[in-house]
Amino acid sequence: MNRNASPLSFFEFFAGGGMARLGLGQAWDCAFANDFDAVKAATYADNFPGLGMKDGKGHFHQGDVWDLTADDLPGRADLAWASSPCQDLSLAGARKGLAGERSSAFFGFWKLVEALDDQGRAPDTVVVENVVGLLTSHRGDDFTALCGLLAARGYRFGALEIDASHFVPQSRPRVFVVATRLPVDGLEGQSPFHGRAVREAAARLPADLKERWIWWGLDAPPARNADLAAVLEPDDQVEWRGEEATAALLDLMAPSHRASVDARIRSGERAVGAVFRRMRGGDQRAEVRFDGLAGCLRTPRGGSSRQTLLVIDKGQVRSRLVTPREGARLMGLPDGYRLPRSATAGLHVIGDGVAAPVVRWLSERLLTPLALRKSAPLAAE
């Protein structure tokens, strides 16, 4: 195939609103996408008109990944991307691991890869994106099991821990396991994304899996030049909370956080902070950060998951919730990205997504150069 004339192809599982697709860019053509959630499926179709819901022509299939078979997937893709559900692996969750009710969806994806492999059509490269807890869940046993599955099908693999804050003003650390059967010479080396959790996860692997480990040499991006304030809507175009609600929020702050607010009130200058409500020692606390970053966006399932903005200007303190459009910007999405009309639905799609600029960096610096090596594949052991 002439790689200059034809784009590389990929399958996207747990696709959500298509953020990985946006990040991969024009060098990649989505041959098949899947998600169970109806709101996300509708958002995907709205943003990729004519290529959305599967109707005999489109490539998006809404439904349970377990109900899919290899025959539902067309041809042979260069890449399979899986942003599998993270709730059972999250540090904030029940830590049930890959056997949990939601994260077990990963095995629905993997049985498709195995079936494709049995037909001689397995993708050359697989990316599994998840929360960093994937590296430590069940004392690392889940990550070792994942690596074992990859190795059993002839893949070599490595992991990168990338915080979206390198690209957008949101703290959103995620792990990207990149597995391939293709030659990797020239793509290995040191990386700022080999954090402690990655190094320790690699060290815990048994000897046979360590032999298949790849230290991906992904470089760091240029310094981010936008902070949280830069992505916000104008003050006169958003809905603010009342004074009593803001006062109640301030009353929930521990002394150190309240002192940080008071110092900015006294300065008279404008300051924007991101606030989360958390349980600390059995008490609810409001914690604020003024480092120019939003906290990690989440799906709106309750009070503690709703991120609040605190804006201090000329001694006045106001508070409000992050809007869906602001959330989309924090995920690196263009303003032309179509969101659901409901704010709750919009935040649901955004909070479960992957930051598009992170995927773009992976695509440009690693995934695309790797895929273009198809002319010299690595023989499976």
Indicate whether 316 pLDDT > 90: yes
Which pLDDT does position 300 carry in this prediction? 72
The sign of the torsion formed by the CA atoms of 27, 29, 33, 39 equals positive
Does 341 reside within a domain?
Answer: no
Q: Give the whole-angstrom CA distance, residue 116 versus residue 110.
A: 10
Q: Do 218 and 264 fall into the same domain?
A: no
Judged against a pLDDT cut of 70, whether residue 236 lies above it is answered with yes
Of 80-94, 107-121, 185-199, give the lowest mean pLDDT range. 80-94
Summarize the confidence of residues 310-314 as an average pLDDT. Answer: 96
The predicted model gives 216-231 an average pLDDT of 96
Mean per-residue pLDDT, 59-86: 92
Domain assignment present for residue 338? The answer is no
* pLDDT exceeds 90 at position 245: yes
C-alpha span between 349 and 341 (Å, rounded): 12
CATH number at residue 172: 3.40.50.150
**Which of the four pLDDT bands, split at 50, 70 and 90, describes residue 378?**
very low
What percent of the chain has a predicted confidence (pLDDT) above 90? 79
147 and 270 belong to one structural domain = no
**DSSP symbols for 339-371:** PPSSHHHHHHHHHTS--HHHHHHHIIIIIHHHH
Residue 380 is assigned to a structural domain of this protein: no
Report residue 57's pLDDT band, with 50, 70 and 90 as the boundaries.
very low
**Position 216 pLDDT exceeds 80:** yes
144 and 279 in a single domain? The answer is no
How far is it, in rounded angstroms, from Cα 173 to Cα 132? Answer: 7
Residues 171 and 39 in one domain: yes
309 in the same domain as 247? yes
Domain count, the chain: 2
Is position 216 within any domain? yes
* pLDDT of residue 11 exceeding 70: yes
Mean pLDDT value across residues 321-348: 96
pLDDT category at 92 given cuts 50, 70, 90 is very low
Residue 379 pLDDT grade (very low, low, confident, very high; cuts 50, 70, 90): very low
Taking the model in full, what pTM does it have? 0.91
> What are the φ and ψ backbone dihedral angles of 143, each rounded to 5 degrees?
-70, -40
Name the band, by pLDDT with cuts 50, 70 and 90, for residue 202: very high
219, 239: one domain: no
* Whether 55 and 190 share a structural domain: yes
Other CB atoms within 10 Å distance of the CB of residue 72:
13
Residue 240: C-alpha distances to residues 5, 94, 235, 298 (Å): 51, 34, 9, 21
Asked whether the predicted pLDDT for residue 306 surpasses 80, the reply is no
The per-residue pLDDT for 171 is 96
Q: Residue 145: in which H helix or E strand, if any?
A: helix 141-152
The C-alpha angle with vertex 308 and arms to 289 and 328, in degrees rounded to 5, equals 100
Same domain, 179 and 274: no
Provide the pLDDT for residue 106: 87
Whether residues 219 and 242 share a domain: the answer is no
Residue 186: name the closest of 3, 381, 366 by CA: 366
pLDDT tens for 113-138 read 999 999 999 999 999 999 999 999 88
pLDDT at 3: 46
- 25 with 51, same domain: the answer is yes
Residue 311 falls inside a structural domain: yes
The per-residue pLDDT for 255 is: 94
> 206: which residues sit within 8 A by CB, 6+ positions away?
144
Residue 201 forms part of a structural domain: yes
Residue-wise DSSP of 195-247: -HHHHHHHHHS-HHHHTTB--B-PPPPPPP---GGGGPPPGGGSPPPPHHHHH
Q: What is the CA radius of gyration of the chain?
A: 22
* Res. 175: pLDDT tops 50: yes
Confidence category of residue 104, pLDDT binned at 50, 70, 90: confident
Average pLDDT over residues 338-355: 94
Asked if residue 339 is part of any domain, the answer here is no
247, 319 Cβ separation under 8 angstroms: no
- Domain-embedded: residue 59: yes
Q: Are residues 89 and 203 in the same domain?
A: yes
Residue numbers of the domain that contains 301: 234-322
- Average confidence score pLDDT of the chain: 89
Rounded to whole angstroms, the Cα distance separating 134 from 142 reads 7
Residues 120, 16 share a domain: yes
**Predicted local distance difference test score (pLDDT) of residue 129:** 96
Q: How many CB atoms lie within 10 A of CB 149?
A: 20
CA within 13 Å, CB half, 91: 9
